[in-house]
Homo-oligomer: A and B are copies of this chain.
Amino acid sequence: MPLLGRSLLDTRTLSAQHIDEIFLKADSMQLGRDAVAAKPAPVVCCLFFEPSTRTRMSFQMAAYRLGLEVLTMELSAGSSLSKGETPSDTVMNFAAMKPDVLVVRYGTSRELDALLPTLKIPVLNAGSGTLAHPTQGLLDAYTLRAEWGSLKGRRILIFGDVLHSRVARSGFDVFTKLGADVGVFGPEHLLPSDSSMSEKFGVRVFTSLEEALPWADACMGLRIQLERHDARLAPDGESLGGSVAANYLSRYGLTVDRLKLLRSDALILHPGPINHGVEFAPEVVSDPRSRVLDQVTNGVRIRAALLALILGR
């Protein structure tokens, strides 16, 4: 069967015989009423109050890999559901539909912070405010453990907009729990205050990438999220595409020159999506030390593991 495992990008690669084979198969396809319902699967309800594609797809793929069904609701700012409703109303409504697990992403919301732990349905946090993104922290650690066997005594550098990053928070927590040392670097106004760093996480603050990169066994760049920044980064409302981006890269980003400061057996991570030419030079992702795509694969793996453990499979 010559089509097995092949791509079909154009009909020009098909012979008349191929086409015949396809047509015969089409003749045998059953549409409509002959289908018999499978046994119902547990349902994962994904409720995203903030836009997401990567994390949402990753949870959905993870659920499918366990044979679960997925009900997804992305509530953009103007969504009809939220008209006149509070986020709590929305969550309680979806919970009343009795899904088996709720996956929720939301911005800063004390209302939801208080509501979610009270629900009778297990809830997986797919990113909340600037404080927690547990599945990201777990998949980052899992990716490093796959390389190293253990994180114990390893040095992990997180650089960029640490202040607003839930990825960084969950990273600090998981990495240090697993015995790693964590360092941070970033523009001064995008770092948490020094005392909160050392008190909460025992984190080392670097003042230059030149100093930080040789120290690290792994470095993780964070996405710069302009919408969360004050005016210092883009004083004249310039877009990131222009000189502000280049300026940021040269001062705070992983340039081609700085790549040379990173040890040859060190690893490069990024939670994605990457701003090419801002936190990373375009060349970084194709560096042999990059594990950015492994993170994506491991994201599915970790989320499937969590769903399996929570549902008792």
* Residues of chain A whose beta carbon lies under 8 Å from any beta carbon of chain B: 1, 3-12, 14-16, 19, 21-23, 25-33, 35-43, 45, 51-54, 57-58, 60-62, 64-69, 71, 73, 75, 79-86, 89, 92-94, 96-100, 116-117, 119, 122-125, 128, 131-132, 134-135, 137-138, 141-142, 145, 170, 173-174, 177-179, 223, 240, 272-276, 278, 285, 293-294, 296-302, 304-306, 308-313
Contact = CB atoms under 8 A, between A and B. Distances in A.
A40 B53 contact: no
Contact of A38 (B5, B41, B81, B128): B41
B31 A300 contact: yes
Contact of A273 (B22, B36, B64, B85): B85
Given A22-B306, A69-B64, A132-B9, A36 B37 contact: no
A203 B66 CA distance: 51
B40 A65 contact: yes
A304 B29 CA distance: 7
Contacts of A1: 309, 312
A239 to B, nearest CB: 11
B42 A37 contact: yes
21 contacts: A5-B122, A7-B123, A8-B134, A8-B135, A9-B116, A15-B177, A21-B309, A25-B308, A31-B65, A31-B304, A36-B39, A40-B64, A41-B64, A45-B61, A57-B73, A61-B99, A80-B273, A84-B275, A93-B293, A96-B297, A98-B297
Closest 8 CB pairs of A and B: A25-B305, A96-B296, A53-B81, A84-B275, A26-B305, A37-B67, A40-B67, A7-B123
Contact of A134 (B10, B132, B272): B10
A29 B313 CA distance: 11
B11 A132 contact: yes
Nearest to A118: B7
B26 A142 contact: yes
Contacts of A297: 31, 96-98
Contacts of A16: 177-179
B94 A304 contact: no
A89 B42 CA distance: 32
Contacts of A306: 3, 8, 22, 25
B94 A57 contact: yes
Given A8-B123, A10-B134, 14 more contacts: A8-B310, A9-B117, A9-B128, A9-B134, A31-B297, A36-B42, A37-B42, A37-B67, A43-B65, A51-B80, A54-B81, A61-B99, A82-B273, A83-B275
A11 B146 CA distance: 19
B10 A301 contact: no
A28 B306 CA distance: 12
